[in-house]
Amino acid sequence: METTIASISTAPGIGGIGIIRMSGPEAFEILNKIFVPKNPESIEKIKGYTMKYGKIKEGKNDIDEVLVSYFKAPKSYTAENMCEINSHGGIVIVRKILDLCLQNGAEMAEPGEFTKRAFLNGRIDLLQAESVIDIIDAKSEKEAKAGVKQLEGSLSKEIKKIKQEIMDVMVNVEVTIDYPEYDVEEVTQKELQTMLESVEKKLSILEKSFDNGKLIKEGIKTAIIGKPNAGKSSLLNAILKEKRAIVTEYEGTTRDTIEEFITINGIPLKLIDTAGIRNAKDEVEKIGIKKSKQIASEADLIIAIFDSSKELEEEDREILELIKNKKAIILLNKCDLENPKITENNKEFENQKENILKISALKEEGINELKEKITDLFKINQIQIDNEIVVTNLRHKNLISKAKQQTEMAQKSILENMPIDLIAIHIKSILEDLNAITGEEVTEEIINEIFAKFCLGK
Ligand code: GDP
């Protein structure tokens, strides 16, 4: 890696400080051309993990007063020589300092290039690098924790353990293939069988952890449906108001739905409010119903809300039809009004009794009970990531599934008395899949694709 890269590492905009990062063989040389420390020292004398105070200069002009952190190879984020210039925040100054770095020989870093270098220099494996993105993008505490655990290498270690198990047995297999005159085949087959069973079990646990991982990462996709004026928007407001921990807020993927994240016991809930459907008329109305159906079919959880002050109508029955065979909670809203026309005793709710709650979205009553119900339904309290390795990344999950399929095929080949070299092919592809997870066997395109998801300066 001959080039030295630079980029702004703090978020764009105005902040208390801004950080410009440089990494590469020329990092300190370039720094010396633009930075005049108050107490100058030769670079050899400056220890890693220290800071120096001084001024960034362009010729004779002072640009800013800064603190510079020094990291010396290989003890840095990228394993190269690195420095971080902490300047006063503000777009103009930070850009100016970056420009000075570039004018003096640094190249503009690509998104994720610092982390990519850490990977290419062998400081972290691909799996750990990917967990850096997960930590940055985390929408909940549990998700961030899972990311940190992966960065520490818990999943990498487990994958390595599995690989070692395979390799221990493969040595004997290679001997059998290379020197068929040695009669070790029988022993090897038994050994292979035991090893494959054990590997399959471990892969299977990892594969299953993805479901929890997915919940942690993507959240429970929750659709709020109900006829116009049932109280969908009021419910959403009540939920969001009580829970201050709104992590992300953005326009829904479809124009007329709103998606919002809240967390319940550390698990994100992605709320999809179909409020946009409410003003639909005639033709559009049909599209609305179609859309409700689609959203309902894709949701992990449906919150069906009914206006209990009005008789059950055709539209309500359609909604009841929609939630059949789905994880659903029925809310009888407006329980603050007297003389309800709908109660849990309506025959339409016969098979749903245990999931009915009376609430008042307006008075914010019953919201905690709703959250408890969701916790129960998804066993959120049982999702413990502290002692468990959780796979959260789809790329990893797919490779684990592929490797598991190969263990099944290898076992089948043994049962069918296939020659050992054919069995070995399956076992080698298990190793290849596992190597692709940690990055020992991935193509450049995949690497580029992974790092392109990073933000600049990371
Ligand atoms: P949406 O069309 O399903 O989104 O329904 P809204 O949330 O806009 O509510 C429709 C109307 O019902 C509004 O006037 C709300 O103030 C009212 N409303 C919603 N929830 C309650 C409730 O729990 N009690 C009472 N009394 N009125 C409510």
Write out the DSSP string of 301-355.
EEEEEEETTS---HHHHHHHHHTTTS-EEEEEE-TTSSS-S--TTSGGGGGGGGG
Chain segment 224-253, per-residue pLDDT in tens: 888 888 888 888 888 876 443 333 333 333
DSSP-based helix, strand, coil % in the chain, nearest 5 = 50, 20, 30
Distance (Å) from CA 350 to ligand 1 centroid: 25
What pLDDT sits at residue 359?
Answer: 96
Q: How many CA atoms lie within 13 A of 61 on its CB side?
A: 5
Distance (Å) from CA 225 to ligand 1 centroid: 13
β-pairing verdict for 267-273 and 50-58: unpaired
Distance (Å) from CA 284 to ligand 1 centroid: 22
Q: Going by C-beta distance under 8 Å and a sequence separation of 6 or more, which residues neighbour residue 207?
A: 391, 397, 400, 401, 404
**CATH class entry, domain 137-215+393-442:** mainly alpha
Among protein residues, the one whose CA lies closest to atom 11 of ligand 1: 229
Which of 227, 229, 232, 234 is the pocket-test mutation for ligand 1 (most atoms within 8 Å of CB)?
234
Ligand 1: which atom is nearest the Cα of residue 337? 26
What pLDDT sits at residue 55?
Answer: 96
Long-range contacts of 116-120 (CB under 8 A, 24+ apart): 116/447, 116/451, 116/454, 117/1, 117/5, 117/23, 117/78, 117/79, 117/80, 118/77, 118/78, 118/79, 119/439, 119/447, 120/1
Q: What is the CATH number of domain 221-381?
A: 3.40.50.300
Residues of the chain with pLDDT under 50: 242-255, 276-282
For the chain, the residue count is 458
Distance (Å) from CA 283 to ligand 1 centroid: 25
Token pair 């905009």 in the structure block, residue: 13
Which of 225, 229, 241 is the pocket-test mutation for ligand 1 (most atoms within 8 Å of CB)?
229
Long-range contacts of 144-147 (CB under 8 A, 24+ apart): 145/385, 145/386, 146/213, 146/216, 146/217, 146/385, 146/390, 146/392, 147/392
Q: Which two tokens stand for residue 156?
A: 């990498």
Distance (Å) from CA 274 to ligand 1 centroid: 14
**CATH class entry, domain 5-109:** alpha beta
Distance (Å) from CA 333 to ligand 1 centroid: 8
What pLDDT sits at residue 226?
Answer: 86
Distance (Å) from CA 334 to ligand 1 centroid: 7
Distance (Å) from CA 238 to ligand 1 centroid: 11
Ligand 1: which atom is nearest the Cα of residue 273? 4
Among protein residues, the one whose CA lies closest to atom 24 of ligand 1: 334
Among protein residues, the one whose CA lies closest to atom 26 of ligand 1: 334
Q: Give just the sign of the alpha carbon dihedral 340, 341, 347, 353.
A: negative
Among protein residues, the one whose CA lies closest to atom 2 of ligand 1: 229
Distance (Å) from CA 362 to ligand 1 centroid: 7
Give the other-Cβ count within 10 Å of 45's Cβ.
7
The dihedrals phi and psi of 180, each to the nearest 5 degrees, come to: -60, -20
What pLDDT sits at residue 268?
Answer: 80
Among protein residues, the one whose CA lies closest to atom 14 of ligand 1: 229
Give domain limits for the chain.
5-109, 137-215+393-442, 221-381
Chain segment 379-436, per-residue pLDDT in tens: 766 665 555 788 888 899 999 999 999 999 999 999 998 888 888 899 999 999 999 9
Distance (Å) from CA 282 to ligand 1 centroid: 22
β-pairing verdict for 258-264 and 267-273: antiparallel
Distance (Å) from CA 234 to ligand 1 centroid: 6
Q: Which two tokens stand for residue 298?
A: 């894709």
- Protein residues with CB under 6 Å of any ligand 1 atom: 226, 228-234, 275, 278, 333-334, 336-337, 360-362
Whole-model pTM above 0.85? no
Distance CA 109, CA 454 (A): 12
Ligand 1: which atom is nearest the Cα of residue 236? 7
> Is the separation of the CB atoms in 45 and 39 below 8 Å?
no
Distance CA 210, CA 268 (A): 15
Ligand 1: which atom is nearest the Cα of residue 333? 23
The dihedrals phi and psi of 82, each to the nearest 5 degrees, come to: -140, 150
